[in-house]
Amino acid sequence: MQKRRPRTGLYIFVGLVVAAVGALAYLGLGSALTGDAGQVERVQTPAIEDPPAAVSERVADEARAKESSAEEEAARERAAEERAAAEERREAEAVVAPEDPTMYLTVPALGIENVPVINEDSEAALEAGTQHVTSTGFPWQEGANTYIAGHRLGYPGTASDHIFYDLPRLGAGDEITLTDSNGEVYNYAVTNIVEVSPTDTWVMNPPSSGNDMVSLQTCIENFGDYWTEGPNWFARYVVQAERV
């Protein structure tokens, strides 16, 4: 019986070793399974991130661009409508040019009332009252300088007699009125006075301002000499008035 004890101890030792190995194997397998499950779970439920800020800004920019484009288009349409309305007003207000270019001059400060303005470059036109220089414009034309000449002394017994004798007495703001053969009235106010030589034809040019103008011209003895009655008449005295 004493010879069997060592073998029994060996059996016990081997059993303990097997049990320990089994326990270790079990613990290792559990960890592996737990790790795999965690990895699978992470794959199946990925994190969802917020939209990038750049995308939001691009959407906002596109919205603003569309709004700005719509506003610009509306502004262009309004401008086109305003231009069309202005053109209609101009056409409605446009004066019909009379068939007879004869006009009638009124200058209250000089006692001139409805004196004929004859559209001829002739002495006969001056004797009839005053003369419209035919190379210049008419009051029914936009931006015109209606240029009218009259004698200082003129001819007794005619409408030209002293017609523009007192022209140097006119001052800024004095009224000048023209009436065409259709009865259309054009009102002006004196704005400028110039003295020129007979060769200074630039004074007949249309006004650079674009405003309608009438010019009344007569002769004076010399520059600054308004009351000597000839005989030389070296200078021209011109009263300019703009449309009001």
Instruction: Chunk the chain into consecutive blocks of 10 residues (it has 244) and report each block's average pLDDT, rounded to whole numbers.
Output: 54 62 54 47 55 74 85 90 74 76 98 97 95 98 97 95 98 98 98 98 94 98 96 98 98
Q: Say what the pLDDT of residue 58 is.
A: 80
Q: Say what the pLDDT of residue 40 is.
A: 45
Q: Is the pTM value of this prediction over 0.75?
A: no
Q: Does residue 162 sit in the same domain as residue 228? A: yes
Q: Does residue 234 sit in the same domain as residue 120? A: yes
The answer to whether residue 54 sits within a structural domain is no
Among the listed residues 151, 152, 236, 243, the single catalytic one is 151
The answer to whether residue 127 sits within a structural domain is yes
Q: Does residue 80 sit in the same domain as residue 170? A: no
Examine the residue annotation and report whether 132 is marked as an active-site residue of this protein: no
Q: Are 176 and 191 in contact (CB under 8 A)?
A: no
Q: Say what the pLDDT of residue 19 is.
A: 65
The answer to whether residue 211 sits within a structural domain is yes
The answer to whether residue 20 sits within a structural domain is no
Q: Does residue 146 sit in the same domain as residue 225? A: yes
Q: Which of 200, 107, 91, 85 is nearest to 142 (CA)?
A: 91
The answer to whether residue 86 sits within a structural domain is yes
Q: Does residue 67 sit in the same domain as residue 123? A: no
Domain count, the chain: 2
The answer to whether residue 231 sits within a structural domain is yes
The answer to whether residue 14 sits within a structural domain is no
Q: Does residue 166 sit in the same domain as residue 230? A: yes
Q: Say what the pLDDT of residue 25 is.
A: 57
Q: Does residue 214 sit in the same domain as residue 163? A: yes
CATH number (domain holding residue 120): 2.40.260.10
Q: Say what the pLDDT of residue 8 is.
A: 59
Q: How far is CA 140 from CA 62, 69, 166, 217, 228, in A?
A: 54, 43, 27, 20, 36
Q: Does residue 82 sit in the same domain as residue 161? A: no
Residue for token pair 């060769």: 199
CA distance 210 to 150: 25
Q: Say what the pLDDT of residue 1 is.
A: 45
Q: Does residue 83 sit in the same domain as residue 108? A: no
The answer to whether residue 9 sits within a structural domain is no
Q: Are 154 and 160 in contact (CB under 8 A)?
A: yes
Examine the residue annotation and report whether 104 is marked as an active-site residue of this protein: no
Q: Does residue 80 sit in the same domain as residue 136? A: no
The answer to whether the Cα torsion of 194, 197, 202, 205 is positive or negative is positive
Q: Say what the pLDDT of residue 32 is.
A: 47
Among the listed residues 110, 163, 216, 219, the single catalytic one is 219
Q: Does residue 82 sit in the same domain as residue 193? A: no
Q: Does residue 77 sit in the same domain as residue 167? A: no
| Domain boundaries, position 72 | 63-94
CA distance 115 to 128: 9
